Each structure stands twice: as C-alpha cells, then as structure tokens.
Amino acid sequence: MPVKYNAIIIRFGSEIGTKSPRVKVRYEKSICDYIRRLLEHHSVSFEKLEYTYGRAYLFTNETSEASELLTRVFGISSFSPAISTTSDIDQIADVCVSLAKEEFIPNATFAVRCRRVGTHPYTSLDVNRIVGERILSSLKDLNLKVDLENPMYTMGIEIREDKAFIFLETIEGPGGFPIGSQGRVVCLISGGIDSPVAAWLMMRRGCIPVFLHFDLGDFGDKRTRDKVTRLVRKLSEWMFNTPLRVYIVPHGENLQEIKDKCMDNLTCVLCKRVMYRVAERIAEMEGAVAIVTGEAIGEQASQTLHNLAVIEEATKGVPVIRPLVTFEKVETERLARRIGTYEISAEEEKGCAAAPKRPSTRARMGVVLKEEQKLDIERMVEIALERAEKFEIKYGNGDN
C-alpha cells in the first residue's frame, strides 16, 4: 500500500521546557492556538491539533502546506511530517516497511528509533528490533543494512497510548518563545539589511515590535519609505495575527540643522542621539520597555564600541538592545535570507548624504554635549513627534 502522510509531530522550543510546568503549558497552548489560527487563515484543513505536554500532533492530509507554515511559527523547535497509525505492532511494522520501500535507495543503511509513552505489550527496544527485522526481511532486494551509528535514514516511531506516528524527516523550526510572551519594544528600522534582522530576533524571543523609521528627507532616498513598509510586511509573516505598528518620523530638517551648526565629524553621533531620544519618547507612549537597533560593533564609524556608549548616553531610562552587536555581516545576511527580508533590503538605495567624509570613531562626550548646546534638541524631538505618521501593517494586506 502506498504511504500517505496524514499528521505532523510538533516539538516545542527546548527553552520552553525549562519553565515551570504551569508556564510551559500556557506557552505551549498559546503556540497551538496560533497554529490553529494560522492554518485556518491559509485554508489548510486539519482534523485536529492535539496538545500533550511538550508535543502537539497535527492531523492533516495537507502536510506539505502545513509544514511550509510551521517553519515560521515561533516556539517550535522542530517538526516531522508523519504517518499516523494505531499502536498495534504489526500495523506499525507494515507502515514502516511501506515507507522504507518508497523512500530507501538500494544498499542504504538505516536505524529505527522508537519513543514510547503509555502502556503497551512491548518496549521501545522491542519495537526497534521487530521493525528493523521486518524491513530487512521484506525488502531483501534493496540490500539494506542496519547502522545505528551513522545511518542514511532514521525511521522515527513515536508511540503515544493507542496511536503511533512514523516519520523519516525532522525539520527545524525557528525556536524562541510564543508571540507576545514578552513586552513591547521600539525597533529602529532603516531599510538596510541589519535592522529587520535585529527586530526579528526580538520577535523570536516573544517581543512585540513597534517600528520606528526616520525619513531623512533630502539626505535620504525616496524609495526607502516603501522599502521599510515592505520589510515590515515581510516580518508580519512571522506574527500574522498581530497588526504591526509603524511610526515614520521626519528627520531631514533635524539633520540639516546638525549639518549647519555642528562639527562635521560628529554628524552621525549627533543624528543617532536625536533618533534615540525620539525612540525613547515613543517607547513611553507605547508602553515599550526597550529600544532595539541593528547596530554591530565597528560596522560603521558611529558603531565603534566607544561611540555606541556616547550615543546611548542620550537615553535616560529605556535600555537599548542591539541583538546583532557581535554578528559578522555574513551571519546577518544569512539570517536575513532565512527570514525573507534580504531581497528587499538589498534593493539599491543611495546611502545617507549627510554622512561626513571623516566621521569620528571616538567622539568625546564633553565635545558632543557642547555641540548639542548649539541645537534646540527639545524642539527637534517635539516637532518630530508632532509630525510623526503612524499606521499599522496587518499580515495579508499586500503581497504576502
């Protein structure tokens, strides 16, 4: 008989397992709720999603459509499309033989690995042995061999009470915590490669992002605004049921004032200090507990460890979190590809025209404070907030 995948075993993030039983169950159930709504939203039909401590079993005939969606669910560490059957050992062995017949290439090596919960007339070791022998004896033509150390195929069998699930493949999930299990954060997003990745890393840990983009006006590129919108829409694929708030704040005039009045080599540091102050105010308005940026040590002149400290001094209470602080660019790019933001970020765009030729990599705090006295920073922040544009991006309202 041809095998038909009709279930998916879902394993929750290993870190969720370290929580108290009460929190663990709450987290895992909230991930299950999210999965149900995600599948319904995409019209992927399923019979049921059964939750048991540490695992969930999705019964569906549309396993490939469902798998595609599960790769983007925070809190899942891995999942396996499976064939569900009863816990009867003969039935299990029959399914395993059919699956091996369809999938194993001649001369392949394999192992059988069983996990078992419940009361059964056999142990897991019995299952491994019986199924292994049945595969060998039923598929003699294939010249298969058992290799427990380094098998080409692992026939996974999970038996839970009166049901069994048989699978060959384990697909990695993103891990992390359920959506909204941590606080809100203000994410500074620029249109480049780094900032969407930084936001995603926070989202994965359960934070809800509020996006903040500074429109550089004549110093920027007209295309950036649209890029930012599309990036947020891409990120919404990972949080489909949460409308993502976006603030766009005019920053061109402020930048002009900094250029006109202050030392050229401090432009970037002064510009960022204004950004951080605006971010802090928005954090207060939004009840957000942190500011998030895509900064990484030494990536730009304004991002030397020294300058990061000087920039951060502008905030008074809200912590600044930089998830990419130690990332190599290639690592960030790899992650951006996986998240789906890379292509949008990589679209051509001209850099900030206000950036000086020789930016300071070691701005002196005293000098920065003195330069800021030439500016009416309070007013800059107030005007930025007054003119801020605010809107929400909801998953599905566009091309995703």
Binding site residues, ligand ATP, CB under 6 A: 188-190, 192-195, 212-214, 216, 293-295, 299-300, 302-303
CB of 318 to ligand ATP, least distance (A): 14
The item of Mg ion, ligand ATP, none sharing an interface with residue 266, based on CB under 5 to 8 Å by kind, is none
CB of 370 to ligand ATP, least distance (A): 23
CB of 280 to ligand ATP, least distance (A): 13
Decide whether 12 or 327 has the Cβ nearer to Mg ion.
Answer: 327
Decide whether 84 or 293 has the Cβ nearer to ligand ATP.
Answer: 293
Task: Assess contact for 190 and 28: CB atoms under 8 A.
Answer: no
Decide whether 33 or 328 has the Cβ nearer to ligand ATP.
Answer: 328
Decide whether 189 or 282 has the Cβ nearer to ligand ATP.
Answer: 189
The item of Mg ion, ligand ATP, none sharing an interface with residue 293, based on CB under 5 to 8 Å by kind, is ligand ATP
Decide whether 212 or 235 has the Cβ nearer to ligand ATP.
Answer: 212
CB of 397 to ligand ATP, least distance (A): 22
Decide whether 193 or 208 has the Cβ nearer to ligand ATP.
Answer: 193
Decide whether 144 or 216 has the Cβ nearer to Mg ion.
Answer: 216
Question: Closest-CB residue for Mg ion?
Answer: 194
Give the binding site for Mg ion (CB under 5 A).
194, 299
The item of Mg ion, ligand ATP, none sharing an interface with residue 311, based on CB under 5 to 8 Å by kind, is none
Decide whether 67 or 293 has the Cβ nearer to ligand ATP.
Answer: 293
CB of 356 to Mg ion, least distance (A): 17
Question: Closest-CB residue for ligand ATP?
Answer: 192
CB of 159 to ligand ATP, least distance (A): 48
CB of 172 to ligand ATP, least distance (A): 26
The item of Mg ion, ligand ATP, none sharing an interface with residue 85, based on CB under 5 to 8 Å by kind, is none
How far, CA to CA in Å, does 348 sit from each of 122, 198, 222?
Answer: 62, 21, 12
CB of 300 to ligand ATP, least distance (A): 4
Per residue, the 3-state secondary structure of the chain, as one string, reads: CCCCCCEEEEEECHHHHHCCHHHHHHHHHHHHHHHHHHHHHCCCCCCEEEEECCEEEEECCCHHHHHHHHCCCCCEEEEEEEEEEECCHHHHHHHHHHHHHHHCCCCCEEEEEEEEECCCCCCHHHHHHHHHHHHHHHCHHHCCEECCCCCCEEEEEEEECCEEEEECCCEECCCCCCCCCCCEEEEECCCCCHHHHHHHHHHHCCCEEEEEEEECHHHCCCCHHHHHHHHHHHHHCCCCCCCEEEEEEECHHHHHHHHHHCCHHHHHHHHHHHHHHHHHHHHHHHCCCEEECCCCCCCCHHHCHHHHHHHHCCCCCCCEECCCCCCCHHHHHHHHHHHCCHHHHCCCCCCCCCCCCCCCCCCCHHHHHHHHCCCCHHHHHHHHHHCCEEEEECCCCCCC
